[in-house]
Copies of this chain bind each other. A is one copy, B any other.
Amino acid sequence: METILADVAPLAANGAVADYIPALAEVPADRLALSLCRTGGEPVGAGDCDQKFSIQSICKVFTLVLAMNCNQGERLWSRVGREPSGDPFNSMVLLEIERGVPRNPFINAGAIVVADILAAEYDKPVETLTTLISELAEAEITVDERVAESESATGYRNRSMANLMRSFGNLEGDVEPVLDVYFRQCSLGITANQLTRAIRFLANDGVDPVTGRQIVNALDARRINALMLMAGTYDAAGAFAYEVGIPCKSGVGGGIIGVVPDRAVVCAWSPPLDETGNSLAGRAALTRFVSRSKLSVF
Protein backbone atom coordinates (compact mmCIF):
# COMPACT_ATOMS: atom_id res chain seq x y z
CA MET A 1 0.00 0.00 0.00
CA GLU A 2 2.87 2.39 0.70
CA THR A 3 4.21 1.56 -2.77
CA ILE A 4 0.89 2.38 -4.35
CA LEU A 5 0.75 5.71 -2.53
CA ALA A 6 4.29 6.55 -3.60
CA ASP A 7 3.37 5.71 -7.21
CA VAL A 8 0.23 7.82 -7.34
CA ALA A 9 1.28 10.80 -5.19
CA PRO A 10 2.73 12.78 -8.13
CA LEU A 11 -0.57 12.54 -10.03
CA ALA A 12 -2.29 14.85 -7.56
CA ALA A 13 -0.42 17.75 -9.13
CA ASN A 14 -2.55 17.35 -12.27
CA GLY A 15 -5.83 17.80 -10.41
CA ALA A 16 -7.58 20.70 -8.75
CA VAL A 17 -8.95 20.80 -5.21
CA ALA A 18 -12.68 21.67 -5.15
CA ASP A 19 -12.88 25.37 -4.43
CA TYR A 20 -16.53 26.29 -4.61
CA ILE A 21 -16.54 26.74 -0.82
CA PRO A 22 -13.65 27.94 1.36
CA ALA A 23 -13.67 24.94 3.70
CA LEU A 24 -12.87 22.60 0.80
CA ALA A 25 -10.47 24.97 -0.94
CA GLU A 26 -8.31 25.19 2.17
CA VAL A 27 -7.56 21.46 2.39
CA PRO A 28 -3.85 20.82 1.61
CA ALA A 29 -3.54 19.25 -1.83
CA ASP A 30 -0.84 16.82 -0.80
CA ARG A 31 -2.89 14.81 1.68
CA LEU A 32 -3.02 11.16 0.62
CA ALA A 33 -4.50 8.12 2.29
CA LEU A 34 -5.29 4.51 1.46
CA SER A 35 -7.18 2.32 3.89
CA LEU A 36 -8.02 -1.35 3.37
CA CYS A 37 -10.28 -3.48 5.51
CA ARG A 38 -10.97 -7.18 4.98
CA THR A 39 -14.52 -8.12 5.72
CA GLY A 40 -13.86 -9.62 9.11
CA GLY A 41 -10.87 -7.52 10.04
CA GLU A 42 -9.69 -4.08 11.04
CA PRO A 43 -8.52 -1.28 8.72
CA VAL A 44 -4.95 -1.30 7.53
CA GLY A 45 -3.98 2.20 6.48
CA ALA A 46 -1.19 4.02 4.73
CA GLY A 47 -0.70 7.78 4.61
CA ASP A 48 -3.12 10.26 6.18
CA CYS A 49 -5.70 7.67 7.20
CA ASP A 50 -6.62 9.33 10.46
CA GLN A 51 -7.16 12.81 9.09
CA LYS A 52 -10.72 14.00 8.68
CA PHE A 53 -12.01 15.12 5.31
CA SER A 54 -15.42 16.12 4.01
CA ILE A 55 -17.50 13.04 3.16
CA GLN A 56 -19.55 14.84 0.50
CA SER A 57 -21.27 12.50 -1.99
CA ILE A 58 -19.97 9.32 -0.34
CA CYS A 59 -22.64 9.97 2.26
CA LYS A 60 -25.29 9.21 -0.38
CA VAL A 61 -24.58 5.50 0.22
CA PHE A 62 -25.64 5.81 3.86
CA THR A 63 -28.72 7.92 3.19
CA LEU A 64 -29.76 5.38 0.57
CA VAL A 65 -29.41 2.64 3.20
CA LEU A 66 -31.74 4.58 5.51
CA ALA A 67 -34.23 5.14 2.69
CA MET A 68 -34.20 1.49 1.62
CA ASN A 69 -34.93 0.55 5.23
CA CYS A 70 -38.14 2.61 5.17
CA ASN A 71 -39.87 -0.30 3.46
CA GLN A 72 -41.31 1.72 0.65
CA GLY A 73 -40.55 -1.06 -1.79
CA GLU A 74 -41.04 -0.09 -5.40
CA ARG A 75 -42.38 3.32 -4.39
CA LEU A 76 -38.81 4.41 -3.72
CA TRP A 77 -37.78 3.33 -7.22
CA SER A 78 -40.71 5.13 -8.80
CA ARG A 79 -39.39 8.39 -7.36
CA VAL A 80 -35.75 7.82 -8.26
CA GLY A 81 -34.33 5.62 -11.03
CA ARG A 82 -31.60 3.01 -11.04
CA GLU A 83 -30.00 3.94 -14.35
CA PRO A 84 -26.77 5.81 -15.09
CA SER A 85 -27.19 9.54 -15.53
CA GLY A 86 -25.77 9.81 -19.00
CA ASP A 87 -25.28 13.51 -19.36
CA PRO A 88 -22.00 14.79 -18.07
CA PHE A 89 -22.69 18.48 -18.28
CA ASN A 90 -26.35 19.18 -17.93
CA SER A 91 -27.97 18.06 -14.72
CA MET A 92 -31.27 19.83 -15.33
CA VAL A 93 -31.88 18.61 -18.87
CA LEU A 94 -32.64 14.97 -18.09
CA LEU A 95 -34.41 15.96 -14.87
CA GLU A 96 -36.87 18.05 -16.84
CA ILE A 97 -37.25 15.65 -19.75
CA GLU A 98 -37.89 12.81 -17.31
CA ARG A 99 -40.39 14.95 -15.41
CA GLY A 100 -38.62 15.37 -12.11
CA VAL A 101 -37.58 11.74 -11.59
CA PRO A 102 -33.79 11.64 -11.18
CA ARG A 103 -31.86 8.88 -12.88
CA ASN A 104 -30.39 7.37 -9.71
CA PRO A 105 -29.89 8.12 -5.99
CA PHE A 106 -26.22 9.08 -6.43
CA ILE A 107 -26.66 12.17 -8.58
CA ASN A 108 -27.53 15.26 -6.56
CA ALA A 109 -31.17 15.36 -7.62
CA GLY A 110 -31.61 11.72 -6.62
CA ALA A 111 -29.97 12.29 -3.26
CA ILE A 112 -32.32 15.22 -2.68
CA VAL A 113 -35.30 12.89 -3.23
CA VAL A 114 -33.68 10.48 -0.75
CA ALA A 115 -33.28 13.39 1.70
CA ASP A 116 -36.97 14.16 1.21
CA ILE A 117 -37.81 10.57 2.18
CA LEU A 118 -35.60 10.76 5.27
CA ALA A 119 -37.16 14.11 6.25
CA ALA A 120 -40.60 12.52 6.01
CA GLU A 121 -39.81 9.19 7.65
CA TYR A 122 -37.43 10.08 10.47
CA ASP A 123 -38.02 12.58 13.27
CA LYS A 124 -34.45 13.78 13.26
CA PRO A 125 -33.00 12.55 9.99
CA VAL A 126 -29.53 14.06 10.34
CA GLU A 127 -29.17 12.64 13.86
CA THR A 128 -30.36 9.23 12.67
CA LEU A 129 -27.72 9.38 9.96
CA THR A 130 -24.84 10.46 12.18
CA THR A 131 -25.81 7.85 14.77
CA LEU A 132 -25.69 5.12 12.11
CA ILE A 133 -22.35 6.19 10.67
CA SER A 134 -20.86 6.73 14.14
CA GLU A 135 -21.85 3.21 15.18
CA LEU A 136 -20.40 1.68 12.00
CA ALA A 137 -17.23 3.80 12.07
CA GLU A 138 -16.71 3.22 15.80
CA ALA A 139 -16.20 6.95 16.25
CA GLU A 140 -18.30 10.05 16.69
CA ILE A 141 -19.05 11.44 13.23
CA THR A 142 -20.50 14.97 13.17
CA VAL A 143 -21.59 17.68 10.78
CA ASP A 144 -19.00 20.36 10.05
CA GLU A 145 -21.35 23.31 10.44
CA ARG A 146 -19.07 25.68 8.56
CA VAL A 147 -19.15 23.39 5.52
CA ALA A 148 -22.92 22.97 5.78
CA GLU A 149 -23.48 26.72 5.85
CA SER A 150 -21.27 27.25 2.81
CA GLU A 151 -23.02 24.47 0.93
CA SER A 152 -26.37 26.10 1.60
CA ALA A 153 -25.15 29.59 0.74
CA THR A 154 -23.80 28.52 -2.66
CA GLY A 155 -26.25 25.72 -3.48
CA TYR A 156 -28.23 27.49 -6.20
CA ARG A 157 -28.14 24.58 -8.61
CA ASN A 158 -29.33 22.13 -5.94
CA ARG A 159 -32.03 24.62 -5.01
CA SER A 160 -32.99 24.83 -8.69
CA MET A 161 -33.26 21.05 -8.94
CA ALA A 162 -35.27 20.77 -5.73
CA ASN A 163 -37.75 23.39 -6.93
CA LEU A 164 -38.06 21.69 -10.31
CA MET A 165 -38.78 18.34 -8.66
CA ARG A 166 -41.29 20.09 -6.38
CA SER A 167 -43.02 21.49 -9.47
CA PHE A 168 -43.33 17.94 -10.79
CA GLY A 169 -44.66 16.72 -7.44
CA ASN A 170 -41.61 14.54 -6.74
CA LEU A 171 -40.61 16.44 -3.63
CA GLU A 172 -43.10 16.11 -0.81
CA GLY A 173 -41.56 18.26 1.87
CA ASP A 174 -40.88 21.98 1.68
CA VAL A 175 -37.76 22.73 -0.30
CA GLU A 176 -35.63 24.40 2.37
CA PRO A 177 -35.97 21.78 5.16
CA VAL A 178 -35.19 19.01 2.66
CA LEU A 179 -32.16 20.90 1.36
CA ASP A 180 -31.07 21.43 4.97
CA VAL A 181 -30.88 17.63 5.41
CA TYR A 182 -29.07 17.36 2.09
CA PHE A 183 -26.49 20.07 2.76
CA ARG A 184 -25.79 18.78 6.26
CA GLN A 185 -25.36 15.16 5.17
CA CYS A 186 -22.69 16.28 2.68
CA SER A 187 -20.81 18.07 5.43
CA LEU A 188 -19.82 15.21 7.71
CA GLY A 189 -16.12 14.99 8.61
CA ILE A 190 -14.65 11.48 8.53
CA THR A 191 -11.30 9.71 8.09
CA ALA A 192 -10.30 7.01 5.61
CA ASN A 193 -10.00 4.39 8.34
CA GLN A 194 -13.39 5.37 9.73
CA LEU A 195 -14.90 5.07 6.26
CA THR A 196 -13.59 1.57 5.62
CA ARG A 197 -15.00 0.51 8.99
CA ALA A 198 -18.30 2.13 8.15
CA ILE A 199 -18.80 0.36 4.83
CA ARG A 200 -17.68 -3.18 5.71
CA PHE A 201 -21.31 -4.28 5.78
CA LEU A 202 -21.54 -3.71 2.00
CA ALA A 203 -19.01 -6.50 1.41
CA ASN A 204 -20.58 -8.71 4.07
CA ASP A 205 -24.17 -9.38 3.00
CA GLY A 206 -25.30 -6.24 4.79
CA VAL A 207 -24.04 -7.27 8.23
CA ASP A 208 -21.68 -5.09 10.28
CA PRO A 209 -19.03 -7.65 11.24
CA VAL A 210 -18.30 -5.94 14.58
CA THR A 211 -21.78 -5.74 16.00
CA GLY A 212 -23.33 -8.47 13.89
CA ARG A 213 -26.18 -6.08 13.16
CA GLN A 214 -27.95 -6.36 9.80
CA ILE A 215 -27.63 -2.85 8.40
CA VAL A 216 -29.51 -3.70 5.22
CA ASN A 217 -30.68 -7.07 4.01
CA ALA A 218 -28.22 -9.13 1.97
CA LEU A 219 -29.98 -8.55 -1.34
CA ASP A 220 -30.12 -4.80 -0.82
CA ALA A 221 -26.41 -4.73 0.05
CA ARG A 222 -25.63 -6.31 -3.33
CA ARG A 223 -28.04 -3.94 -5.04
CA ILE A 224 -26.32 -0.92 -3.49
CA ASN A 225 -23.03 -2.26 -4.82
CA ALA A 226 -24.60 -2.61 -8.27
CA LEU A 227 -25.86 0.98 -8.10
CA MET A 228 -22.42 2.18 -7.02
CA LEU A 229 -20.83 0.49 -10.01
CA MET A 230 -23.39 1.95 -12.41
CA ALA A 231 -23.51 5.46 -11.03
CA GLY A 232 -21.18 5.97 -8.09
CA THR A 233 -18.49 8.04 -9.74
CA TYR A 234 -20.43 10.76 -11.55
CA ASP A 235 -19.98 10.53 -15.30
CA ALA A 236 -16.87 8.43 -15.13
CA ALA A 237 -18.79 5.33 -14.06
CA GLY A 238 -18.02 3.54 -17.32
CA ALA A 239 -14.35 4.42 -17.10
CA PHE A 240 -14.23 3.26 -13.45
CA ALA A 241 -15.86 -0.06 -14.30
CA TYR A 242 -13.44 -0.49 -17.20
CA GLU A 243 -10.29 0.61 -15.33
CA VAL A 244 -10.94 -0.17 -11.67
CA GLY A 245 -13.47 -2.96 -11.89
CA ILE A 246 -15.17 -2.75 -8.49
CA PRO A 247 -18.16 -0.74 -7.20
CA CYS A 248 -16.96 2.71 -6.07
CA LYS A 249 -18.50 5.90 -4.69
CA SER A 250 -16.61 9.16 -4.77
CA GLY A 251 -17.05 12.65 -3.28
CA VAL A 252 -15.68 16.07 -4.16
CA GLY A 253 -13.84 16.10 -0.84
CA GLY A 254 -11.41 13.75 -2.59
CA GLY A 255 -12.53 10.50 -1.02
CA ILE A 256 -13.42 7.33 -2.92
CA ILE A 257 -14.70 4.11 -1.37
CA GLY A 258 -14.58 0.74 -3.12
CA VAL A 259 -16.27 -2.56 -2.33
CA VAL A 260 -14.95 -6.02 -3.18
CA PRO A 261 -18.00 -8.18 -2.46
CA ASP A 262 -17.38 -10.95 0.11
CA ARG A 263 -13.75 -9.90 0.47
CA ALA A 264 -12.86 -6.38 1.50
CA VAL A 265 -13.52 -2.67 1.30
CA VAL A 266 -11.09 0.10 0.49
CA CYS A 267 -10.94 3.89 0.79
CA ALA A 268 -8.58 6.29 -0.92
CA TRP A 269 -8.33 10.01 -0.25
CA SER A 270 -6.52 12.75 -2.13
CA PRO A 271 -8.17 16.17 -2.52
CA PRO A 272 -7.22 17.15 -6.11
CA LEU A 273 -9.96 16.14 -8.55
CA ASP A 274 -9.88 15.29 -12.24
CA GLU A 275 -12.25 16.91 -14.71
CA THR A 276 -14.95 14.34 -13.89
CA GLY A 277 -14.93 15.38 -10.21
CA ASN A 278 -13.20 12.22 -8.97
CA SER A 279 -10.01 12.22 -6.90
CA LEU A 280 -7.21 11.88 -9.41
CA ALA A 281 -4.66 10.11 -7.24
CA GLY A 282 -7.38 8.24 -5.38
CA ARG A 283 -8.69 6.78 -8.63
CA ALA A 284 -5.18 5.72 -9.63
CA ALA A 285 -4.59 4.19 -6.19
CA LEU A 286 -7.76 2.11 -6.47
CA THR A 287 -6.87 1.02 -10.00
CA ARG A 288 -3.44 -0.16 -8.88
CA PHE A 289 -4.84 -1.83 -5.76
CA VAL A 290 -7.44 -3.85 -7.67
CA SER A 291 -4.97 -4.72 -10.43
CA ARG A 292 -2.31 -6.02 -8.04
CA SER A 293 -4.70 -7.88 -5.80
CA LYS A 294 -6.68 -9.26 -8.77
CA LEU A 295 -9.89 -8.32 -6.96
CA SER A 296 -11.88 -7.03 -9.97
CA VAL A 297 -15.45 -8.28 -9.96
CA PHE A 298 -15.13 -8.90 -13.70
Footprint of B on A, CB under 8 Å?
81-87, 90-97, 103-104, 156-157, 159-164, 166-167, 175, 222-223, 225-227, 229-231, 235-239, 241-242, 245, 247, 261, 296-298
Contacts and interface: CB of A to CB of B under 8 A. Distances in A.
Contacts of A91: 96
- Point out which of A163, A225, A226, A298 has the most chain B C-beta atoms below 10 A from its C-beta: A298
Contact of A298 (B95, B104, B222): B222
**Integer count of this chain's copies in the complex:** 4
A298 B167 contact: no
Contacts of A161: 160
Q: Chain A contact residues: over half helix, strand or loop, or mixed? A: helix
A182 to B, nearest CB: 14
Nearest to A219: B291
Contact of A159 (B81, B82, B95, B163): B163
A160 B163 contact: yes
Contacts of A242: 82, 223, 226-227, 230
Contacts of A81: 238
A296 to B, nearest CB: 6
Given A84-B86, A156-B163, A164-B157, A238 B247 contact: no
A167 B163 contact: no
A154 to B, nearest CB: 9
B227 A82 contact: no
Contacts of A222: 245, 296, 298
